Amino acid sequence: MVNRVAVLGSLNVDTTYRVVRFPEPGETISAISRSSAPGGKGANQAVAAARSGAKTYFIGSVGNDDEGKLMRECLDDERIYTAHLTTNMDHGTGTALVTLNEEGQNNIMVYGGANQAMTTSVLDGTDQVFEDVDFMIAQFETPQAVTLEAFKRAKAHQVVTILNPAPASQLIPELAQYVDVVAPNETEAELLTGVKLTDEASLDLIAQHFQAMGIPVVLITLGKRGVYYATKDQAGIVPAFTVTAVDPTAAGDTFIGALTSQLSTSLDNLDEAITYAQRASSLTVQKYGAMPSIPMGFEVEEALKK
């Protein structure tokens, strides 16, 4: 069965500078290389879902500029439905500046543009989307007020909602009531809950914090340590795959999109979906760039067999 996924989110054109090391404050250094590629958390997650076989819809906004045309073409090339990708005439398409050092660590600065200027008007005419899809994904690179309205509509159609609260920002309490799965990384989990992550007991405390807000399922990505999960019945850690990473950009987005492509709406295959998504992420980090590094579903399946 093919999962049907709607993504409400951001689109950015990423410019990446590769450097030996990050500059100190006030220091000028030379870059080894410069490259540009399509990205943005929403777009990356949609592409990850689509490449792993999900029928994928995108709801978002770009500027009336060359970057916006590029992003629209990229989603179209991935066979992602873009009928609800709007054009903002007053704000440019989102962009991101990525600095990547030789150790595979990155720093990212994002200009929100049309992403942050988004209003609930982007949801006009989307009723058919909510009737068709099984899952809806959103992040924090677009306004939470829009996500709240989208999740309200999603839940009215029994759609499973997945929130990737990145970059970390104070969660609107009302929004939590419409979230089925929250999936931060460890830094975001700490910032959102105020609980210092030190061991598995602290992971349990973080999960309890989210569950007290009304979110039943908690996933926390832990990098090389794997993924922690907590439901009302059980909790644990699914180990990561060991690889040599060269660029972590889009690893988390690949995880979210790939996970959603495999989940059952009852979430009873959570372990298997997490394993698949981690394998997909392990392939992403072995290549440079955001969207170009996201693997196809057959590549993930072949890697899992190994």
List the binding residues.
Answer: 12-14, 40-44, 141, 185, 221-226, 247, 249, 252-253, 284, 287, 289, 293
Distance CA 236, CA 134 (A): 26
- Upper half-sphere CA count for residue 131 (Cβ side, 13 Å): 4
Structure tokens at 281: 């992420």
In this structure, the chain runs to a length of 306
Numbered residues of the known binding site for ATP = 185, 221-226, 252-253
Helix (H) or strand (E) holding 57: strand 55-63
* Single-letter amino acid code for the residue at 267: L
User: Is there a contact between 290 and 14 (Cβ–Cβ < 8 Å)?
Assistant: yes
Which listed residue (124, 253, 268, 271) is catalytic? 253
Q: Could you tell me the sign of the dihedral formed by the alpha carbons of 168, 174, 176, 178, in that order?
A: negative
Structure tokens at 215: 């979110």
**Annotated catalytic, 253?**
yes
Distance CA 162, CA 173 (A): 16
Structure tokens at 238: 């699914």
Question: What are the C-alpha distances in Å from 194 to residues 135, 155, 168, 186, 190?
Answer: 29, 28, 12, 12, 5
**Which residues are CB-neighbours of 208 under 8 A, at least 6 positions away?**
none
**Which residues are CB-neighbours of 267 under 8 A, at least 6 positions away?**
160, 180, 181, 217, 231
Residues taking part in catalysis: 253
